[in-house]
Amino acid sequence: MLVRPQTPGPLRFAAFASGCSYRALGERWLAEQQAAVEVHEVNSYHSMLACVASGRYACLLPQSVLSKMTLPENCLSEPLCEATTQLIWRSGERPALSEWRKLLQSVAIG
């Protein structure tokens, strides 16, 4: 979900460190909206929302994360795109991993 101030204007982007897929998606969106993209690196989703609340930043959060937080006043949230989460693990099955995969598959099937 894209979270941004209601008032239009040039925005900076609050994001995790380089390498974060949400950061890359957000930088691409912001570059389409304005010429320059200035990224402010933060260490938590709460810090991202605090930056947006200042009125000078946008951020991109998973919907599941945003739904557990309070949207700051005078801010908007809107879907920007869909992102696929990929899980990677070492070869060789472990009972806990196997059960977790079964649970995820049952939820996905639904």
**pLDDT tens digit string along 7-24?**
878 889 999 999 998 899
pLDDT of residue 55: 93
Model confidence, pTM: 0.73
**Paired sense of beta strands 75-78 and 57-60, if any:** unpaired
Residue-wise pLDDT tens digits, 61-90: 999 899 999 998 899 999 988 877 777 778
Domain 2-78 has CATH 1.25.40: no
Phi, psi dihedral angles at 17 (to 5 degrees): -60, 160
* pLDDT above 80 (res 106): yes
Residue-wise pLDDT tens digits, 20-65: 988 998 888 888 887 677 899 999 999 999 999 999 999 999 998 9
Q: What is the dihedral of CA 16, 18, 22, 24, to 10 degrees?
A: 140
